[in-house]
Structure formats: structure tokens, C-alpha cells
Amino acid sequence: MPRIASLFFAVLLCLFASVALAALWQSGMRANTPTSSAAEAQVSQASVHSNEAHPVIIRKPSGPPRIELAGTDPQGRTASVACSTCHSIRQANLENKTAATLDEFHQGMAFNHGNITCYACHNPNESDALRLADGSSVAYENVMTLCSQCHSKQAESFAHGAHGGMNGHWDLSRGPQMKNNCIDCHDPHVPKYPKMIVGFKPKDRFNEPSTAEHQQEGTAAHDKH
């Protein structure tokens, strides 16, 4: 019994000592004001940065597409040609709407972009460029000008960061911002955003391994958690 009593006494003593020590510590530190210097450093840093505004860089396609040739030469090399290689000597069929109605080339190409003809966007007079609705030519690099003719709502959202996503900095005084262009995400011939497969799942309490029972009454099983 006296052994336990002395143990208790020791514990009590330690407690008092630590409380006193903590109090001393705190009173000592209260003298100097905290965080003010950190805040000052941040301000000066901000003022340094605010002088130079960084750009919003919208990625552009590298240029008109190149068509890979099917065969290889005796040295095993492949080659690619420009659209105009073939199209400059062929008559443009302004009525054509899908690859299915073509008898050669572009076979098997999927097309699902409204009820428009190939030459609604491609330029019949200049095969390595695109064509605006008014007939004027526009380079492949500026494809967004073409898309925006019909998709003005998306273009407006894009201009305000509400469509298409971004990378880099929200604060342009501190660094640049990079944005995609339309065809980075949308295949112009099949513009619907593709389906994806979920790869990563947290294993938390809301995420028990799903059993057959769970799947049948998904919501009911969920309420229980």
C-alpha cells in the first residue's frame, strides 16, 4: 500500500510540475507577437509578383493532320503525306456526309457529329486548312474559331474557365495558366466525350466491398452505414 501511495504522490507531483512548466512557457512566449512577420513576408512576395502578369496559354493543334502511308519502303521506312497530296487532284464531293459513302480512303472512320457534310468544316479549295461558315479559310491551329461558330455557349464558358479545364495557376500574377483546346477532349468527328473506367476507389466506411445484396438494394444498404 505505501508503495502505491508513493507512486500516486509521484504522479501528482509530476502533474503539478508540468502544469507549472507549461504556464511558465506560455507567459514567456506571449511577449513576442506571433504570425505578424510571416504575414509581412507574404505581402512583400505578393507585391513583387503583381508587377508581372502571366498569360493564359491555350494549347493549339500542331498543324494540319498528316496521313501515314500504309506500306514501307525496302529500307523499312514509313512516310506521311499532307491532305493536299490527294485532295488537290480530286474533285470535292460537297454532298458527302459520312465515310460509309466513300468508295476509297477514310474507310472505317466513325462520324457522329450532327447532320453536317465533310466540307462544312473541311475546306474544298484548300485541303490543308479548314473552312468557316462564311467560306473563308481558317488554319487547323485555330480550330477553336471553327467550333465556336456553332458552340458559342461552350466557347463563352471556355473563355470564363467554366468549360474545358485548366492547369497551372489561378493567380495570373504568380504564374501562367494552361488550357486545352476543343479537340484535345472532343474528337471533332465523334465529339461526344468518351466513357471512362473508374480506376481508383478509397476503402473507407462508405465503401465496403459490394455484395450481391448490396447491389440489389444499393440505397437501402447505404442508409445503414
Partner 1 sequence: MTSTDPCNSQQAESKANRSLPIVENFTRRAAVKGGFATLGAAAFVAAISPLRQAAKSTTAVEFMQRHYTELSPEQKANVISRLEAETKEKYGADVTIADDRPIPGTKFVYAINLSVCNGNGKCVEACHKENNHDRSTNQSYIRVIEMPKGTMDMEKGSTTYSGIVPKDDKFYLPVQCQQCDEPPCVDVCPVKATWKEEDGIVVVDYNWCIGCRYCEAACPYHARRFNWKQPEVPAEEINPDQSYLSNRVRPVGVVEKCTYCLHRTRRGKLPACLEACPTGARVFGNILDKNSNIRWILENKRVYILKEELGTKPAFFYYFD
159 SS3 class? helix
Query: What is the signed CA dihedral for 188, 191, 195, 196, rounded to 10 degrees?
Result: 50
Question: If binding is defined by CB under 8 A, does position 198 make contact with partner 1?
Answer: yes
Q: For partner 1, give the closer residue by CB, 81 or 153.
A: 153
Question: If binding is defined by CB under 8 A, does position 67 make contact with partner 1?
Answer: no
Question: If binding is defined by CB under 8 A, does position 197 make contact with partner 1?
Answer: yes
**Residue 214 C-alpha from the chain's centroid:** 33
Task: Give the C-alpha separation, 188 to 205, whole Å.
Answer: 42
Report the candidate in 186, 199, 108, 119 with the shortest Cα–Cα distance to residue 147: 186
Please select the residue that binds partner 1; options are 68, 201, 212, 216, rule is CB under 8 A.
201
The residue written with cell numbers 483546346 in the block is: 181
The C-alpha cell at 211 is 455484395
Task: Give the C-alpha separation, 195 to 181, whole Å.
Answer: 19
Question: If binding is defined by CB under 8 A, does position 76 make contact with partner 1?
Answer: no
Number of neighbours of residue 149 by Cβ within 10 angstroms: 14
Please select the residue that binds partner 1; options are 5, 202, 212, 216, rule is CB under 8 A.
202
Question: If binding is defined by CB under 8 A, does position 27 make contact with partner 1?
Answer: no
Please select the residue that binds partner 1; options are 10, 20, 22, 23, rule is CB under 8 A.
22
Question: If binding is defined by CB under 8 A, does position 155 make contact with partner 1?
Answer: no
Please select the residue that binds partner 1; options are 37, 78, 125, 145, rule is CB under 8 A.
37
Question: If binding is defined by CB under 8 A, does position 44 make contact with partner 1?
Answer: no
Q: How far is the CB of 224 from partner 1 (least distance, A)?
A: 11
Query: What is the signed CA dihedral for 44, 47, 52, 56, rounded to 10 degrees?
Result: 100
57 SS3 class? strand
Question: If binding is defined by CB under 8 A, does position 206 make contact with partner 1?
Answer: yes
Q: Would you tell me which residues interact with partner 1 (CB under 8 A)?
A: 4, 21-22, 25-26, 29-30, 32, 34-35, 37-39, 42-43, 46, 49, 153, 157, 160-171, 173-175, 177, 180, 185, 193, 195-204, 206-208, 210, 214, 218-219, 222-223
